[in-house]
Each structure stands twice: as C-alpha cells, then as structure tokens.
C-alpha cells in the first residue's frame, strides 16, 4: 500500500520529498561556501572574500559529480578575463569603445574555454568587473587568488560531503532509458494504421524520449569520469562502468527506435499503402513488444538472449509472410535494435550489457 503520509499529494509530502532529494546538495553548497570564505580569511583577505564563496555556488549548483571540471573552468575564466581587462586598460582609458573591446575579447576567449559545451561567459564577466573597478590592478589580483582558494576548497570537499552515489544514480537512469525506449517501440506499433495526427503525435513523443536518453547517456559519462576523483566510491568503479556501458548502448538503440517512428509517420495517411499497413498491424505490435522486452532486460542487467531469440523468430516469420517494401522498412529498425543487443563486448571494450 502506498504511504500516503509521505505522498507529495498530501500537505508536507512534497516538501519532505524535496528535502530528501535536494537537501544533501544544499547542505554541500552551504558547508563548502562557509569553508571557502574562512579559508580565504585565513589566507589574509582584507576585504570580504566574496569571490572565494562564489565558486562553490557555481560549481555545485548542478550535478556535484562535475564540480572539479566546473571549478577549473571558473579559474581559467577568471584568469583569462583579468588578463584581458588589465591589458586593455594599460593601453586605453575606459570608454564605450574599450568596454566593447573588453567584452568582445572575453566572449571570444569564452568560445575556446567552453563551460560544459556552452559559451563560457565567466571570461567576459571577469573582464567587465575588473574594467569597472576603481583600482583594477589590486582588484584583479584579489579576484584571482580568492577564486583559486574557493576552487581548491570546492575540489577538496565536494567528493567528501554527502557524496552522490553514482551506482544508484545510473541504475535509475538505466531503468528510465529502458522504459522510454520500450514505450517508444510499443507506442509506435499502436498507432500503426491509424490516423496521421496520431502518428505525428507519436513521432514527437518518441523524439522527446530519444532526447531524454541522450541526456541520460551524457550524465552517465559524467558520472563515470567524476568517479576517478571520488575516493569514497572507488569500490563502485566496476559496477558504474558496467551501468554506464548499458546506458551508452541505449543511446545507440534510440536512433533505430526513432527511425521506426519516422517510417510509421511517413507511411500513415497514404491511401496506396493502406493494405500494407493493415497487414503490418497484425504483426508489428507483437514484434515491437518482444523487442521492447529485450531492451528492458538488457538495460536492467538481465540476460536478453531469450527475448532476442523470440523477437528474431517472429521477424523471420513476418519476412516469410510479407516481403513487400513497407514490411521490409518496418522490420529493419527492429532488426537493428536486436543486432545491437547481440553484439558481444571484447576484452578492450567496456561491456554494454550483462
């Protein structure tokens, strides 16, 4: 029976759920901010060391497993921005033109020193703050060393304070990817032979599921990389590597699932293909269900071979019964999904399933 006391639908249930999920991250940020501030004071800060405290706020606001990379990107951005501003101010007096030049150079360097794949605006922001200060040289020096102190504290404490459990995170991500791919397969089969609006709606849903699987694969890669810097989770390295491999495999399957949805959307509404779609509707839903079952088993870590074999046999029977182009096009994505599920890992490759 569902525990109604902790249900988000009841008063206080949502607050407790948020506290469980977001509380550790908030506590990690709070403790790290205080530690970075105090460390900067111990190092001789004669002004409130705000820049040291900003680093953990920025580096830990997202996935804590990426704190190291974010901290290093912030340091590089600050140093680059400070150097740009000082160089420009040594050549010209502050003006609208020099302001534009400083920001333009900062954005240009930020394109190279990208933050998580996006434009790193930290460079331009640091340049602008130095540019606007009455004592740019001393301000720039304070900003650099305080930022470095804050980054050092963040890098040291982030893996130790309520460290995220990558094994649990990736287990949830893997299950979510499996469910999304399964729903995409069965949902596409369900609209086969129906109206064009239903097929287009299904295609949009499948694309949303595919994007979510891509995001899960990116998160898995980040978790696997971050585990190298987490001394408290070293024993999980093998299981995390295995789960990350499964999610990477799901990312590859997503393209074939999207292809099937695209084929169904393209065929639906064509009067000349109505007989072909009617025949396909008798076969494809069962085959999609068998393939979806194999995907779910693989992503949960169970052996999918029996489900793959059953789906293969069904596809072979369908091929013998109908060799028309529409049937071939609908079978092809399912074959490719099963092909990827059957690829055995080599010794120098991380296991994809198993």
User: Does the pLDDT of residue 227 top 80, yes or no?
Assistant: no
How does residue 181 score in pLDDT terms, banded at 50, 70 and 90?
very high
Share the mean pLDDT of the chain. Answer: 80
d(CA 53, CA 143): 11
How does residue 19 score in pLDDT terms, banded at 50, 70 and 90?
confident
| Inter-CA distances, 352 with 166, 225, 302, 340, 344, Å | 17, 17, 12, 9, 8
By C-alpha distance, which of 338, 23, 263, 259 is closest to 161? 23
Least confident range of 43-47, 251-255, 263-267, 277-281: 43-47
Report percent pLDDT > 90 for the chain: 31
How does residue 351 score in pLDDT terms, banded at 50, 70 and 90?
very low
What is the DSSP-derived secondary structure letter of residue 62? S
Non-local (6+) Cβ contacts of 39 within 8 A are 52, 149, 150, 152, 153
> What beta strand segments (E) does the chain contain?
none
pLDDT digits (tens, 9 = 90+) for 93-151: 878 888 888 889 888 888 887 655 667 777 888 787 777 676 766 777 777 788 888 88
User: Does the pLDDT of residue 208 top 50, yes or no?
Assistant: yes
By C-alpha distance, which of 165, 163, 155 is closest to 35? 155
Let me know the angle formed at the C-alpha of 273 by 269 and 274, rounded to the nearest 5 degrees: 70
d(CA 63, CA 15): 21
Non-local (6+) Cβ contacts of 92 within 8 A are 98, 101
d(CA 77, CA 118): 13
DSSP SS3 for 159: coil
For the ranges 150-159, 227-236, 267-276, 342-351, the maximum mean pLDDT occurs at: 267-276
- The predicted model gives 202-225 an average pLDDT of 88
d(CA 115, CA 40): 25
pLDDT (0 to 100) of residue 320: 94
d(CA 94, CA 345): 61
User: Does the pLDDT of residue 1 top 50, yes or no?
Assistant: no
Non-local (6+) Cβ contacts of 303 within 8 A are 297, 354
How does residue 6 score in pLDDT terms, banded at 50, 70 and 90?
very low
How does residue 61 score in pLDDT terms, banded at 50, 70 and 90?
low
- The predicted model gives 346-354 an average pLDDT of 40
Helices (H), the chain: 13-42, 50-59, 67-91, 96-112, 122-131, 136-157, 166-190, 196-226, 237-267, 274-281, 284-300, 305-321, 325-342
d(CA 43, CA 153): 12
pLDDT (0 to 100) of residue 309: 94
DSSP SS3 for 118: strand
User: Does the pLDDT of residue 247 top 50, yes or no?
Assistant: yes
How does residue 316 score in pLDDT terms, banded at 50, 70 and 90?
very high
Q: What is the DSSP string of 299-325?
A: HHTS--HHHHHHHHHHHHHHHHH--SH
Q: What is the DSSP string of 129-165?
A: HHHTSSSHHHHHHHHHHHHHHHHHHHHHHTTTSS---
- The predicted model gives 264-272 an average pLDDT of 89
d(CA 294, CA 297): 5
Angle subtended by helix axes 67-91 and 96-112, to nearest 10: 150
What backbone torsions phi and psi does residue 229 show, to the nearest 5 degrees?
Answer: -105, 15
Non-local (6+) Cβ contacts of 109 within 8 A are 80, 81, 84, 120, 123
């Amino acid at each position: 029976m569902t525990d109604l006391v902790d249900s988000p639908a009841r008063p206080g249930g949502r607050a407790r759920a948020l506290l469980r999920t977001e509380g550790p991250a908030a506590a990690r940020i709070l403790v790290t901010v205080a530690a970075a501030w105090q460390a900067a004071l111990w190092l001789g800060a004669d002004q409130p060391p705000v820049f040291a405290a900003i680093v953990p706020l920025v580096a830990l606001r997202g996935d804590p497993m990426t704190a190291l990379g974010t901290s290093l990107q912030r340091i590089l951005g600050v140093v680059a921005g400070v150097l740009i501003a000082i160089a420009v101010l040594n050549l010209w007096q502050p003006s609208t033109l020099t302001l534009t030049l400083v920001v333009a150079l900062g954005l240009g360097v930020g394109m190279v020193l990208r933050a998580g794949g996006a434009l790193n605006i930290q460079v331009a922001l640091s340049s602008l703050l130095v540019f606007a200060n009455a004592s740019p040289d001393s301000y720039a020096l304070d900003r650099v060393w305080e930022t470095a102190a804050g980054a050092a504290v963040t890098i040291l404490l982030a893996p130790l304070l309520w460290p995220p459990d990558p094994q649990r995170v990736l287990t949830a991500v893997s299950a979510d990817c499996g469910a999304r791919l399964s729903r995409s397969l069965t949902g596409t089969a369900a609209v086969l032979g129906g109206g064009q609006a239903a097929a287009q709606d299904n295609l949009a849903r499948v694309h949303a599921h595919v994007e979510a699987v891509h995001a899960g694969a990116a998160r898995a890669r980040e978790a696997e990389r971050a585990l190298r810097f987490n001394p408290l989770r070293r024993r999980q390295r093998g299981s995390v590597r295995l789960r990350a491999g499964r999610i990477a495999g799901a990312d590859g399957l997503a393209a074939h699932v999207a292809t099937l949805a695209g084929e169904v959307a393209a065929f639906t509404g064509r009067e000349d293909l109505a007989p072909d779609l009617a025949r396909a509707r008798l076969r494809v839903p069962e085959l999609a269900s068998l393939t979806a079952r194999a995907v779910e088993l693989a992503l949960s870590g169970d052996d999918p071979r029996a489900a793959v074999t059953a789906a293969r046999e069904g596809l072979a029977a369908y091929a013998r019964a109908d060799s028309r182009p529409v049937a071939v096009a609908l079978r092809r994505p399912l074959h490719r999904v099963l092909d990827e599920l059957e690829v055995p890992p080599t010794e120098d490759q991380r296991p994809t399933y198993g």
